[in-house]
Amino acid sequence: MSGKAATVTGAGSGIGRAIAIRFASAGAHVNVVDLDLAAAQSVVSEISQAGGSASAFQCDVSAQSQVKDVFRQIFQAGRVHILVNNAGVSHIGNIEKVSEADFERVFRVNVKGYYNCMLAIVEHMKNSGGGTILNLASVAAWAGLADRFAYSMSKGAVVSMTYSVARDYLTYKIRCNSISPARVHTPFVDAYLKKNYPGHEAEMFAKLAATQPIGRMGEPEEVAALALFLCSDEAGFITGVDYPIDGGFLNLHG
């Protein structure tokens, strides 16, 4: 990725952070975008200390005006070759436990946020000779997960948007793919366990890990490795595909 620039949203922690660090280690300049500016700056510092190149930007991806302003700033530094849509929120509950406010919040960030960022960059990529877009979806888009109504809805939309953009921008040399992870061990998982199962975190962690047939959760770095490949020139013949990275979750149950 030497000489390329990548913009990664939600890159202040978890999977986004791992992707930003991996891309930078491969030679890309990484625009680290996050709602939490301090977290974004911390990742930039980490990348810089390792000899990489990165810049931090604060942005609420659900606000189109903010997205346009931030991307305008990013484009001033030069061409952006890669967009990774990763910023997102989760929600637990079946349809009866999802309030209108909850539903709209998940949709606003996980669906509209991806739309806003892709809309902000496709014209730039069209005028620059092409590019690569990678969207973070989830196995929730494909499987009937209990108590994940709003989240599953949003990730199904992500996969559909991926296919649509891949189809519409083939002639502009813009590739668009998505990744569908199963459970990945991120700070979000640790916070969830601490909040909902105080004193039983280790027990519940083991239970959640066992839902993947491979017997453990994924690591953010493993998702980042797949992201690196799909956004590299080596994947130049791949577009319009969703890649499960799930420890066998979708196909090996039972």
Torsion on CA atoms 113, 185, 187, 229, rounded to nearest 10: -50
Q: For 169-194, how does the pLDDT look when each residue is reduced to its tens digit (9 = 90+)? A: 999 999 999 999 999 999 888 988 89
Q: Where are the domains of the chain?
A: 5-182+219-242, 183-217
Q: Does pLDDT of 122 surpass 80?
A: yes
Q: Tell which residue, 151, 206, 226, 212, has the closest CA to residue 183.
A: 212
- Token pair for 18: 């791992």
Q: Does pLDDT of 254 surpass 80?
A: no
Q: What is the mean pLDDT of residues 214-241?
A: 97
Query: Domain 5-182+219-242 belongs to what architecture?
Result: 3-Layer(aba) Sandwich (3.40)
Q: What is the mean pLDDT of residues 144-170?
A: 97
Q: For 60-108, how does the pLDDT look when each residue is reduced to its tens digit (9 = 90+)? A: 999 999 999 999 999 999 999 999 999 999 999 999 999 999 999 999 9
Contact predicate 179/193, CB 8 Å: no
Q: What percent of the chain has pLDDT over 90?
A: 94
151 included as an active-site residue: yes
* Residue in 151, 169, 172, 243 annotated catalytic: 151
Give 119's contacts (C-beta < 8 A, 6+ positions apart): 64, 67
| 140 backbone dihedrals φ, ψ, rounded to 5° | -65, -20
Q: What pLDDT score does 196 carry?
A: 84
